[in-house]
Structure 1
Amino acid sequence: MDTDMDDSDVAVTTPNSTISEDDSDDSGSTTSTHDALRWRLWQCLETAKHDGTFYYLERLETYVNPGLYIHKLGQVGLPTARRDAAAMAKVSKKAPFGKGSETLVDLSVRKTFELDSSEFECQHPAWQAFLDSVVLSAAESMGVKVKMRAERYKLLLYEEGAFFKSHHDSENVPGMFGTFVKCLPSEHTGGDVHVSHGNEKILLRTSDNLKFDMSALAWYSEVHHRVEPVTSGYRAVLTFNLVQDQKLPRQTAAALDETL
């Protein structure tokens, strides 16, 4: 929780260059001890900092077809035809959202169809390598400094009128620090994504020429985002959890270019 500093808060600044871990005096003064501790604390905090943006967007004119296979439907081609999208909707369920400890379906907050990762596959043999390369680009752009991976999570389908109000993502699995999204080629209008962090607000436009192109998006878990209503066509996306080793410094939007 963000709070303003008061007299009880601890202010940490970059230590003077003359201070080192070995600084001490013959009398073992508490001043030198405090300086050494301050130096170690600053080093730990520096490790947790990273430079980058709190979001990622890339339009991909060249891509690998994922070879999308839905267990209850069969192979789905790209660009996604209206008949395939309508068939996908019939075998999908209404997507819930997290509210505190509850998981709710409320069409006034979120109107989307979804399939769980166990209900579909990406069968193209070259898909995983392609996905990994784009995830790496996203990680570099967002300043991720630890080893991470993208775990397939959902297939989402937005039909005309579908949307998702402003929210931030829950931790779906241990070590999750962000979300990665692949917008599949599917002609539609609307459905663009707004992301915000602090005082910065960004529009991630994915509807431009998406009949033939693929888009990749990502953001940190604490970033608020909303999906505009789809005004025509269908918007189909694959979502992934960005997961890191929990023993390493947690990657967050708050750590970006942070002044300590």
Structure 2
Amino acid sequence: MRRSSKAFCWVFAVAVASMAVPRAVAQKPDADRITEEDKKVFKDFVGAAGKLLDVRNQKSRQLLAVNNLRQIGLALFEFETEYGSFPNAETAVAVKEATETKANFKEDTANDCFYQLIASGIAQSDRIFSLEIPAPGAHPDPKQPDHIEKCAFAYLSGMTAAGNPQRPLAVAPLLDGKWTFDPAVFGGRAVVLCVDNSVRSFPIEKDGRVLINGLDIFDPDQPFWAGKEPQVKWPVP
């Protein structure tokens, strides 16, 4: 009786094992299959990572813009001390005569106006006018450029260091040919260099405007414009 019981148990165990193995093998493909839910989780993860990267890039660009504007401000004040005004059509003539440069001076764009800082020998490189991060180990070209190829900052022309210290001198990121700002560049912020050489950050409204004390930054009713419409020189990126 004991032998028959042991034999039965052994046969039963073998039968159960033979049934379990095929079942496990049959379930394996299901375990390896990527479901729609898996795809959704992965897509959400990639999207979240992309947003974090965008925010990081926007913050980096904004920090670079602030640093560059401070350097531009120092160069503008040194230029104003030497030529009596910030870059304009009159100073372009003075710079050309003083440096005997053969470059063709204009005042049509921010690139043209800022180039006077380079031609005069005050600014040593055109890098401060862009938002491009130099490659590691890269060095500025020792040869003076004959123009500024890329510029990220709009320039407010026709001013001196006298007057309201809060008057804007340069701003970014202004849309080409428009009086509104691009919220995608600095994460919904705009940066402004003022006559007192301070650099301030302002939120960009949904319609693209920047408001200071409830008024558009370019509104002639702003106290720092004294009723005059600002002369904006848009950059060529």
TM normalised by structure 1 equals 0.32
Q: Which has the higher strand share?
A: 1
Flag the structure with more relative contact order, 1 or 2, with Cα contacts below 8 A and sequence separation at least 6: 1
Q: Which has the higher helix share?
A: 2
Specify the structure having the higher radius of gyration (Cα): 2
TM normalised by structure 2 equals 0.35
